[in-house]
Structure formats: structure tokens, C-alpha cells
């Protein structure tokens, strides 16, 4: 994508509201997603078409340790995948990007915020509670 291009706002499958993470992936925003530390989770998102594989902002995605939010029941991640490492792919048939995020086993017992930054300047987050 050229720097002068203005991308369409990211869209979910079920909503006209801009967001990145789709319903079949980890929940976007304030929902705490629970999963096994060391597993790989597919983060699915759309940007309004195929923008190539050079759509991530420099240094993105990233994650950081956060205090686990209290008072919220975690939502179990329904899908994890086998992966040797993190990777980005695009499926034209579903107009969906998938970033497979390989997590670390030593994250067990901690919460992290996953941040997906795109080269159009948008940033989207998901919260995770990692278990053994």
C-alpha cells in the first residue's frame, strides 16, 4: 500500500463498526480471552480487501504483561493451531487476514495485551489470560 493511499476502515463480518479482530477469533477490546500458554492462536481480521502482506506497522504485532482484570469471567479461546512460530497470511475466499500468534509457555499465570498495529495507523488490542 502506498503511503498516500487511504484504506477502507477495517470491518467485522457481522458489523459495520470498524474493528479488526473478527468474531471467530479472540475477542477484541475488553473481553479477557483465556488460553493455554505456549499455544498458537489465529488472530483473524479484515481491512476491506487484499492489501498484501506488508500491512503490519513497524514492530507490530506486540504483547505486554498487564494486570489481570478482576470481576470478569474469561472467555475460552475456541481455536488454537499448531505452529512453529508466528506468521501472517491472507485468504482471498474469505477476505480474511490471519496472524498466527505463537505464545510462550512461561506466560502461564499471567495476563497479556496483544496489540495489532497496522501501517495505516490503526491499532487494535485483545486481552489474554494464560494458563498452564
pLDDT in tens, 81-106: 887 888 999 999 999 999 999 999 99
Q: Characterise 23 by phi-psi region: left (phi > 0), alpha (psi -120 to 50), beta (else).
A: alpha
Go through 1-25 and write b for each residue having 16 or more CB atoms within 10 A of its CB, e for each that does not. eeeeeebeebbbeeeeeebbbbeeb
Asked whether the bond before 66 is cis by omega within 30 degrees of 0, the reply is no
Task: Provide the whole-model pTM.
Answer: 0.75
Q: What are the strands, taking DSSP E only, across the chain?
A: 32-36, 40-45, 62-66, 75-76, 87-91, 96-102, 111-117, 123-131
Using an 8 Å Cβ cutoff, are 40 and 103 in contact?
A: yes
Q: What is the pLDDT of residues 9-21, one digit of tens each?
A: 333 333 222 223 5
Amino acid at each position: 500500500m502506498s503511503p498516500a493511499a487511504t484504506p477502507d476502515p477495517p470491518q467485522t463480518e457481522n458489523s459495520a463498526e470498524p474493528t479488526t479482530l473478527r468474531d471467530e477469533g479472540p475477542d477484541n477490546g475488553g473481553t479477557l480471552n483465556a488460553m493455554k500458554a505456549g499455544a498458537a492462536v489465529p488472530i483473524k481480521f479484515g481491512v476491506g480487501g487484499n492489501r498484501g502482506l506488508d500491512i503490519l506497522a513497524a514492530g507490530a504485532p506486540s504483547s505486554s504483561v498487564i494486570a489481570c482484570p478482576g470481576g470478569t469471567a474469561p472467555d475460552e479461546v475456541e481455536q488454537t493451531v499448531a505452529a512453529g512460530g508466528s506468521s501472517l497470511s491472507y485468504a482471498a475466499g474469505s477476505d480474511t487476514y490471519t496472524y498466527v500468534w505463537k505464545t510462550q509457555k512461561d506466560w502461564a499465570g499471567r495476563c497479556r495485551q496483544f496489540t495489532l498495529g497496522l501501517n495505516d495507523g490503526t491499532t487494535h488490542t485483545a486481552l489474554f489470560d494464560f494458563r498452564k
